[in-house]
């Protein structure tokens, strides 16, 4: 008669993943966002893990949570382990017979910059399935099943990163509005438009241009840059434009840049790619810039 005694139970994988994400990202809220769960769920996972091991992994403070000494000591091992798991999953995906490239992009980039280049990519790489996902934040290419990303951000200098273009901002508007703008100070009488994620754009441009516009606080805000752009095309006001995102509208004449002054934001249009897609990314750079 065989004997199969019960074995000690390991902590749930979800609890370990919650600890690793919270430790790496510096809080429960950020971990919840990455793992697509609620902060409460992360908190419960951490509590269950702390209960299982019998030691606190985080210190709860009025301003949030910080790793305990034990958490600080253990976190690197878990981060390394989940990185290795992500690499193993990517190796598994590489065995798929169908060629596919998963692309992640900032919503505004996905809507305004990428579409005109997709046909070029499809013709250059026949037989490759191209999929695009719009995300507000760049994914972790060590963990998420994406091969390539296109985002506006500050360069980090990592090998996987390719800077496609430095970002600049400047006012753009419909031709009928541009016709009455003789000097930057004329913007005081216009409706200003901005993307809610980039609220500081107008202030940054005005400061560099030496302007003090009293109507900045009344600017119309949109949560989608593509919608703000379309409203500017429709004559709803003057948009603070990002060079790479408004260039097609400037080329077709639906928008006009009434002033020459442009300001660098310190951001860049950046492409990142996994090791698997690095060679492909270098070919893409020549096609899309």
Query: pTM score, two decimals?
Result: 0.82
Mean of pLDDT values over 9-35: 92
Closest CA to 105 of 222, 227, 245, 251: 245
Q: Which residue has the tokens 């990185």?
A: 83
At residue 289, the pLDDT reads 60
Mean of pLDDT values over 143-161: 88
At residue 221, the pLDDT reads 93
- CATH code where residue 76 lies: 1.10.10.10
- 131 and 274 belong to one structural domain: yes
Read off the tokens for 222. 């949109």
Q: Please say whether the beta carbons of 239 and 245 come within 8 A.
A: no
How far is C-alpha 118 from the chain's CA centre?
19
Mean of pLDDT values over 165-182: 96
User: pLDDT digits over 62-98, tens only?
Assistant: 888 999 999 999 999 999 999 999 889 888 877 777 7
- H/E run at residue 271: strand 263-273
- 117 and 197 belong to one structural domain: no
Read off the tokens for 12. 């749930």
pLDDT band for position 24 (cuts 50, 70, 90): very high
* Percentage of the residues of the chain whose pLDDT score is greater than 70: 97
Read off the tokens for 207. 């400061």
Examine the fold and report which residue of 93, 111, 126 is the final residue of a domain before the chain moves on. Answer: 93
C-alpha torsion 179→183→184→190, nearest 10: -40
At residue 141, the pLDDT reads 86
Is the pLDDT at 2 greater than 70? The verdict is no
At residue 192, the pLDDT reads 96
Domain holding 64, by residue range, is 13-93
Mean of pLDDT values over 247-273: 94
276 CB-near residues (< 8 Å, 6+ apart): 90, 94, 147
What distances in angstroms separate CA 71 from CA 47, 55, 102, 120, 208, one per listed residue? 13, 9, 34, 48, 45
Closest CA to 147 of 4, 289, 276, 5: 276
- 103 and 18 belong to one structural domain: no
**CA pair distance 49, 18, nearest whole angstrom:** 9
Residue 2 lies in a domain: no
User: pLDDT digits over 88-123, tens only?
Assistant: 988 887 777 777 888 999 999 999 999 888 887 788
Read off the tokens for 86. 């992500």
Pairing, β 263-273 against β 148-153: antiparallel
Could you give the number of structural domains in the chain? Answer: 3
Task: Calculate Rg over the CA atoms of the chain.
Answer: 24
Strand ordering across the sheet containing 148-153: 129-134, 100-105, 148-153, 263-273, 161-172, 238-242, 192-195, 220-222
- CATH code where residue 186 lies: 3.40.190.10
At residue 153, the pLDDT reads 92
User: pLDDT digits over 219-230, tens only?
Assistant: 999 999 999 999
- 148 and 173 belong to one structural domain: no
Read off the tokens for 154. 């500050």
Mean pLDDT of the chain: 90
pLDDT band for position 4 (cuts 50, 70, 90): confident
At residue 69, the pLDDT reads 95
């Amino acid at each position: 008669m065989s004997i199969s005694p019960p074995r000690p139970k390991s902590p749930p994988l979800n609890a370990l993943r919650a600890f690793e994400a919270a430790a790496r990202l510096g809080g429960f809220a950020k971990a919840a966002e990455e793992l697509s769960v609620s902060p409460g769920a992360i908190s419960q996972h951490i509590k269950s893990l702390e209960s299982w091991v019998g030691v606190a992994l985080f210190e709860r403070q009025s301003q949030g949570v910080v790793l305990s000494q034990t958490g600080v000591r253990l976190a690197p091992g878990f981060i390394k382990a989940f990185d290795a798991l992500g690499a193993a999953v990517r190796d598994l995906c590489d065995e798929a017979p169908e060629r596919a490239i998963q692309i992640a992009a900032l919503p505004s980039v996905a809507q305004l910059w990428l579409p005109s280049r997709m046909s070029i990519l499809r013709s250059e790489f026949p037989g490759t399935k191209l999929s695009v996902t719009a995300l507000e934040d760049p994914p972790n290419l060590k963990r998420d099943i994406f091969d390539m990303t296109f985002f506006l951000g500050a360069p980090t200098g990592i090998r996987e990163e390719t800077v496609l273009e430095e970002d600049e901002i400047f006012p753009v508007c419909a031709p009928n509005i541009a016709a009455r703008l003789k000097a930057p100070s004329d913007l005081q009488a216009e409706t200003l438009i901005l993307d809610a994620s980039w609220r500081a754009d107008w202030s940054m441009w005005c400061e560099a241009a030496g302007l003090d516009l009293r109507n900045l606080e009344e600017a119309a805000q949109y949560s989608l840059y593509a919608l703000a752009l379309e409203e500017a095309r429709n004559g709803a006001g003057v948009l603070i434009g990002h060079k790479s995102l408004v260039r097609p509208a400037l080329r077709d004449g639906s928008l006009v840049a009434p002033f020459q002054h442009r300001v660098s934001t310190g951001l860049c249009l950046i492409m990142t790619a996994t090791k698997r897609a690095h060679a492909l990314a270098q070919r893409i750079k020549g096609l899309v810039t």
